[in-house]
Structures are given as structure tokens and as C-alpha cells.
Amino acid sequence: MKAEFKPYIPADKVTSEMTPTSIIMGLLLAVIFGAANAYLGLRVGMTVSASIPAAVISMAVIRIIMKKNSILESNMVQTVGSAGESLAAGAIFTMPALFIWAKEGVMPTPSLATITVIALFGGLLGVFFMVPLRSALIVQEHGVLPYPEGTACAEVLLAGEEGGSSAKSVFIGMGIGAVVKFVVDGLCAIQSVFTIKLDALKTEFSAEVYPALVSVGYICGPRISAYMFAGGILGWFVLIPAIVTFGGDIVMYPADISVAELYATGGASAIWAKYIKYIGAGAVASAGIISLIKTLPLIVRTFVDSLKSIKTAGSSSTERTARDMDIRFVLGGIVVLILAIWLVPAVPVTLLGAIIIVIFGFFFSAVSSRMVGLVGSSNNPVSGMTIATILIATICLKAIGDVGVHGMQGAIAIGSVICIAACMAGDTSQDLKTGYILGATPVKQQIGEILGTIAAALAIGGVMILLDSAYGFGSDMLAAPQATMMKMIIEGVMDGNLPWTLIFIGAFISIVVEILGIAALPVSIGLYLPLELSATIMLGGLVRKFADKKFGEQKDESGKGILFCSGLIAGEGIVGVLLAILTVVGITDKINLSAVIPTGNVPAFILILLITAAVYKSAMAKKNEK
């Protein structure tokens, strides 16, 4: 029988939580992190989680400067603040396509109001959807879904609260993570990836050196890490060699040159970018649907239970730590959003289209929330789900004759709303996991998410217009990789030349994996993401396996290995946001030492070994002071 979980702050104890200080700080951080992550994501295609940096900043201000002792107040700051990062991630995956089309003379440049409205619709839907899902994913799946960043954020806050040995493990990890991130991405003194070319196998092996990836593997455990790594091996040591070996002089769409020429000029990475990403996108979409079907009974049961709670809404008999937002308000908000999506010109759809957007948004939000529980927000392949959404939306629009500029705008708007909703649902679930561990009041966190969403939506439009004016989306400075892919997919469907074969190969790979009794979702994620990510995550999983073998599998998430890895994630996240801000103001180019210090595989390889050794040492010592 599963033991009842006891949060840090008991349900019968009431402490400061939603205060003017926590809300104001959270709103400021939502805007700052949203702007910084928008730039970072548009430049390199990835964003950094803002929950842990926001938690550390709130601890510094509330505990050290204001001399207050309120862990739930600090938790509220990170809840509100992290909303900006998630909303920015969803927006930059899709809406830059509108700006690129505008530069090509296809359509007018999107207005500030258009971007703000689309972002607001998606953000609010994502938060509302997580209200009925909280019990199913956070409470009933506690101990099953690790939610790495949510757990790490809770550990950081607990370490600051408890001090002593726990705090030491976390803050040592923070220091190491911060230094490594600054040396690698700030000073550029060590390359971020080491790569070994394997010409005989027509491929290459690579691994990133970032501590957060090792930490995610340790927190997720050996099984999930191995599934992801298996997906990476399938892509890089089976599919890429097969394409290169059998492709030869054939010109395969979407590449415009032969496979042999593409491999000769760009290596295995070029084959991955042109072919494997489509296969991976099909696998993730298929695995996401499979995961959704498997969890649908639980989701429906939870939603029905939420509807039944209307009778007892506002009842004081509900424990503080189990009190969600009034389901009547949630349903009313969703109805208002359906009408708004239908009536506002920014999303050119019918009433039926608006209802379909909300239905798809709910399903993908549920899948996203479950996926971040497995691999964390930073590795959540929302873009893969957005590809599936864009595909379906564009096919439907083309089928009803809505083509040309209007159809392209509609496809991006639909994809944007659903993508942002999925991102926000993932972030909200991580925050609710943190709150569940700490003993926060769910309804207050949900209100905080809404406030953060509104602030970030009001800011993101101006940020995107500013960045496009300064650098231009699709340029070398701001490549906007996801949005460029969405644009290509829409044009491919409208023109009838999308590589469906590659997409269906991926879909059937995930089906085969599921038939074999293996969780298809982490395997598909590993296939979709670059091998350099899953290889490093696998290192953390292996360390966790050794730790579990020595001490027994840890279920309480309180070992020193978890604390140290939480610190690594926190340190890297804080410096990642800092570097994004420094990049915006033009400082990073001045501190770049890559032209002075020769870099290569050896320093990168040594660094990743040292990081892994540090995690191993911490994990092996976790019982010493028990």
C-alpha cells in the first residue's frame, strides 16, 4: 500500500504565501525571464527553465534582505516568475514565422495586439487545463513521475529553509553548475560538445558537457535515461548510416541535394537535421497520442471528479493543500476563451474551429504535463507536438479550401495557441509539483500562474517586435529554428510536398516500441533530440543506477545526490538566464575567449568526466550523515 505523502508545511498550518512582495517580485521576474528566454530560444533553439533561478532570487530577497522566514512566499515568486519563460518558449516556436513571411512580402507584419492576444489565449488555456489534471498527475502519480525541475526547485527551497548539510550539498552544486555554464557558454573557453566522427559507420558520437543534463539523468533514473539513449542510438547508429549507405546519389526531399553530397558537406549532423528530425517528430507525435490514450481514463476520471466538486466548491472541509481553483470559474474561463478565439481576428477560425483548438489544447497540455514529469521542462519536445498540431491544422484548412495567406495565418495562430498552452501546462505542472512537496495551497499557485501569464503576454509582443527589428528572424543572429520548421511544414502541406514517408516511419517506430512493451515516449524523445543530449543524460542515469545498487532505490527524493544535482541545475539555470541578458546588451562578445584559447574534444571530454565524477561522489556519500 502506498504510504501517504506528508508535505513540508502541513495542511493544517497557514503561513504567508500570496503577498504583495511575492506577487510583485514574481511579475518582474516573469517579464525579465520571458524577454531573456525569447532571445536565447530564437538564437539557439532552446530555453532555460526559470523556476529554480526565480526560487533562488526570491530566497535571497525574502530570507536574506527582508529577513522573513517564508518558504511558501518564495515558492509563489518562482511560480509567478517562471510563467514568463514558458510563455516565451511557446511563442518563439511559432509566431516568428509570421515575421519571416512579412519580410518575404507574403503578408503584413503582425501587430503588437495580435501577438499579445494569441499569447494570452494560449497561456490562460494552459493554466486552466492543469486545474483538473493536478490530482491525476501530481498527487496520484507522486513517486512515479519525478518532475525533475519541480523536485529540484523544491529541494533548493528546502535547503535554504533547513540550512546545514542539505543546504551545503545544494549550494556546492549551484556553484559548480554556475562556473561550468559561465566557462562554457560565457567565456567559450571549452566547447560545449565533444564529437567523435565514425566514418566507417557513416555517423558520429557526441555528448554535451552541461551539468544540468547529467543531473536530469540522475533525477529521472536509469530506466528513463536508457530509453532516451536507445532512441538516440536508433537515430544515429541505425537510421543515419542506413540513409547514407542506401541513399547514395538520390536527392531525397526535404534536402535539395543528394544524400552523398549532403553527408560529404555536413556530415551526420546534416542528415539528422534534414531527415531524422522529421522521423523523430513523427515518433514523438505518435508516442504522445499513445501516451494520451493510455492515460485518458485517468484524465477523464479526474475531470469528472472535478466536475462533481462543484457541489462542494468553497467548502472549508477541503484540506488547504488539496484546494484547487473553483471548477466553475475554470469552465467559465474556458468558455469565454472559446468565444474570444472565435471572435478576435488574430485567430481566424470559426466557432467550431475555436472549440477544436480548445480540445486539442487540452489533450496536448495533458501530454506535455506528463512528459515534463519524465524528462523535465528543458527537454520537453513541445515543438514535436506543435508539428503534429500544425500538420493537422494545415491539412484541415487546406481540405476546406482555406489556403493562401489566410490559411497560413490561421495555421500559425492555431499552432501558437496550442503550443503556448502545452508549454504553460508543463510549467504549471512543475510548479504544482514543487508546491505539493512544500505544502503550498494549489489555488493560490494557480492564481499566481494566471497573473504571471498576463504579465508575460503583455511583454512578449514588444520583445519580439524589438528583436525582429534589431536582428531579423531567420537571420544568422536569430535563426528561430522551430518557427522556420513550422513555416516550412505549412508551406509543404499547402504546396503538397511534405515528407510524409519520414513522418510515418517515425510514427510506426513508436508503435513498434510500444508493442514491445517499452515506453515509446522517452524512446521517441531520444530519437527526436540530438544524440548529444541523451548521451549526457545517460551518464547521470548510470550514476543513479550505481547509487541505487549500493543504497537501494530511493523513493524519498532526499538523498545527497538529488540535492547536489538540484544545485547543478539551479546554478546552470541562473547563469543561463544571466548570459541571455548579457547577450541582449552586447557583453558576451567582449568576454568570448574562443579566439584566444584553443578548444577541442579533449578539454570537453575531461570536463564531462569531472562533472560525472562529482555527481558520483555526491551520490555515494548521501547516506553518510543520515
- Alpha carbon distance 43, 481 (integer Å): 8
81 Rama sector, left if φ>0, alpha if ψ -120 to 50, beta otherwise: alpha
Phi, psi for residue 105 in degrees, rounded to 5? 80, 15
8-to-13, 155, 429 alpha-carbon distances in Å: 10, 11, 18
> Are 79 and 423 contacting, i.e. CB atoms less than 8 angstroms apart?
no
11-to-392, 446, 475 alpha-carbon distances in Å: 44, 17, 52
Within 10 Å of residue 531's Cβ, how many Cβ atoms? 31
> Are 614 and 176 contacting, i.e. CB atoms less than 8 angstroms apart?
yes
- Which pLDDT does position 36 carry in this prediction? 75
The size of the chain, in residues, is: 626
| Averaged pLDDT in 10-residue chunks for the chain of 626 residues | 74 86 90 78 67 76 74 90 86 90 88 93 94 83 80 83 64 88 88 89 91 85 91 95 88 79 89 87 80 70 57 56 88 94 88 87 82 68 72 85 86 91 90 92 94 93 84 76 79 79 92 92 85 91 87 56 79 77 78 79 91 90 51
- Alpha carbon distance 362, 366 (integer Å): 6
The helix (H) or strand (E) run that includes residue 61 is: none
100, three cell numbers: 519571416
Q: List, in sequence order, every residue forming a beta bridge with 197; answer none if it has no partner.
A: 204
- Which pLDDT does position 125 carry in this prediction? 95
> Are 468 and 480 contacting, i.e. CB atoms less than 8 angstroms apart?
no
> Are 52 and 570 contacting, i.e. CB atoms less than 8 angstroms apart?
yes
611-to-173, 300, 528 alpha-carbon distances in Å: 10, 43, 25
- Alpha carbon distance 53, 581 (integer Å): 14
- Alpha carbon distance 153, 143 (integer Å): 16
Collapse the DSSP code of 516 into the 3-class scheme (helix H, G, I; strand E, B; otherwise coil) and give the result.
coil
- Which pLDDT does position 526 carry in this prediction? 87
For helices 404-438 and 351-375, give the axis angle rounded to 10 degrees.
40
- Alpha carbon distance 219, 109 (integer Å): 44
- Which pLDDT does position 134 carry in this prediction? 86
302-to-87, 137, 306, 442, 588 alpha-carbon distances in Å: 26, 10, 6, 16, 48
Phi, psi for residue 196 in degrees, rounded to 5? -115, 115
- Which pLDDT does position 624 carry in this prediction? 44
Phi, psi for residue 493 in degrees, rounded to 5? -70, -45
352, three cell numbers: 467550431
pTM (two decimals) = 0.74
Residue of 302, 301, 298, 327 lying closest to 312 (CA atoms)? 327
The helix (H) or strand (E) run that includes residue 197 is: strand 193-198
> Are 459 and 29 contacting, i.e. CB atoms less than 8 angstroms apart?
no
244, three cell numbers: 547514407
Find the angle CA(9)-CA(13)-CA(14) to the nearest 5 degrees: 100
363-to-331, 339, 352, 463 alpha-carbon distances in Å: 16, 19, 17, 29
Quickly list DSSP for 534-585. Answer: HHHHHHHHHHHHHHHHHH----SS-SHHHHHHHHHHHHHHHHHHHHHHHHHT
- Which pLDDT does position 290 carry in this prediction? 82
